[in-house]
Amino acid sequence: MLIRALAVAMSLAWSAAAPAQSTPPVPTVEGPIAEGGAMHAGLGPLALGTAPADFGYATEEYFVSGTANDLAYRTRILVRRPEPAERFSGIVVAEPMHASGFATTFEAARKSIMMRGHVHLEIAAQPGNVATLKGANAVRYASLGIASVDQTAEIIAQVGRLVKSNLRGGPLAPLGARRLILAGTAQASVVLRAYQAQKHFQQRMPDGGAIVDGYLAVSTPGAAAMMVVDVPTVHMPTVTEVNAGGKTGGAPFEREDSDAPANRYRLYEVAGMAHANSRDAAAFTPNPCTLPVSDFPWGAMAAMGLNHLVEWADRGIVPPHVQRLQFDNNTANDGSRLALDQHGNVKGGVRNTYVDVPVAQYGVPNAGATQAADLGCSLAGWRVAYDAETLTQLYRDHAAYAARVNRRLMELMREGWMLPEYAEDVRADAQQVEIPGRAK
């Protein structure tokens, strides 16, 4: 506890003694881009009826250019916006493109983002992102170039200022951004962390305010705690990261929650949630892993964390606290060092119907059926369904099980751990479960 307190105090002291602030330039903008062939959509295969257009969203591409870290750059941003403009919430959820070439946070949590009328802004801020774009369409993206990873944080700062300046003819026009949230999942969260360290205090809006109004870091690797900044941060390491860095009493990246104006922070470790969103990913169909791949509702949980962050940053609504995941360092139970309940699911953390009214055990890590699949499977986690005898012992019949799911679901929504837009998804999952009836 003392070490954590000292670390936070040192971070706050560093923040107070940060280098002199500057205002980043506004980059040059071209677009919407309509020529050059097919646009790289930044999304994997989507279930029928769940694409942005199905939610009344337009997707527009712009090229932005300027100088970052004394080197010229030219890259692209994608703006996913609601139509008509009156639907816009005033919130822009920005996200660095993941090294895979996708907007991983948006792809998983898109249902909530679009139902709530937020704009999504995808920024190709890394040299590898440009290489991905050129690989997708060499003609359309021939003019793009980022010379160095040292430009990445500066590009995000410049794009952030562009969006928040609400310039006439800018990429959001006629919409006006009220708050800018920066989200990042996995490798993109590493980019988010680098932005915090390199630009959050060093580059500000002309009035001295932060360019980014809140940070959401999901599945973020490494042992370092999130940096202390003067805007809200919601940190969501998954069971994968907690287990990998775990020890008795917690993991090294854990920080105490705080409501202090210069240190607003929540740590949300979700029981059952693995590093990768394997529920919707085409890469896991057919299953390339040794165990059944997890179908945990990753996107619903990421959306929950995002919504708490938006409410905190925009309306000052302080989010709830929750206990950490629990350890027993007994790897014989499920291969992890995490403590399990009587049904084989991890104790503690943010709860949900999948572990509180269980029909399966959720765990990490999974393994690939082939060496080539091993990394992806280790990130996806696993789900092993209970046998008929166990289900019969837990629930009288399907009606009893469904009633318990619904009752717990309503409690979780009241407590803020499940958003109402995902309630029918939870019920639909429950409907698919077969519960053997007890003999009379």
**At CA 162, angle to CA 64 and CA 89, rounded to 5?**
115
Residue 8, pLDDT score: 43
Residues 393-414: tens digit of each pLDDT = 999 999 999 999 999 999 999 9
Residue 328, pLDDT score: 86
> What residue has token string 């896991």?
284
Q: What are phi and psi of 185, to 5 degrees?
A: -115, 135
- Taking the C-alpha atoms of residue 391 and residue 359, their distance in angstroms, rounded to an integer, is 7
Residue 7, pLDDT score: 39
Residue 333, pLDDT score: 74
How many alpha carbons lie under 13 Å from residue 39 in its C-beta half-sphere? 17
Residue 332, pLDDT score: 79
Residue 20, pLDDT score: 75
Its sign, for the CA torsion 28, 29, 35, 40, is positive
pTM summary value: 0.93
Query: Burial level of 89, CB count in 10 A (0-12/13-18/19+)?
Result: middle
- Taking the C-alpha atoms of residue 244 and residue 323, their distance in angstroms, rounded to an integer, is 19
Q: How is residue 262 written in tokens?
A: 């210069």
Residue 249, pLDDT score: 62
Residues 295-307: tens digit of each pLDDT = 999 999 999 999 9
Q: How is residue 29 written in tokens?
A: 């903008």
Listing DSSP states for 72-88 in one string gives EEEEEEEEEEESSGGG-
- Taking the C-alpha atoms of residue 40 and residue 325, their distance in angstroms, rounded to an integer, is 38
- Taking the C-alpha atoms of residue 250 and residue 342, their distance in angstroms, rounded to an integer, is 21
Smallest CA-to-CA distance from 113 within 317, 310, 316, 303 is with 303
- Taking the C-alpha atoms of residue 236 and residue 213, their distance in angstroms, rounded to an integer, is 18
> What residue has token string 């000052």?
316
Q: With a cut of 70, which residues of the chain have pLDDT below it? A: 1-19, 246-249, 438-440
CB 45: neighbour CB atoms within 10 A? 10
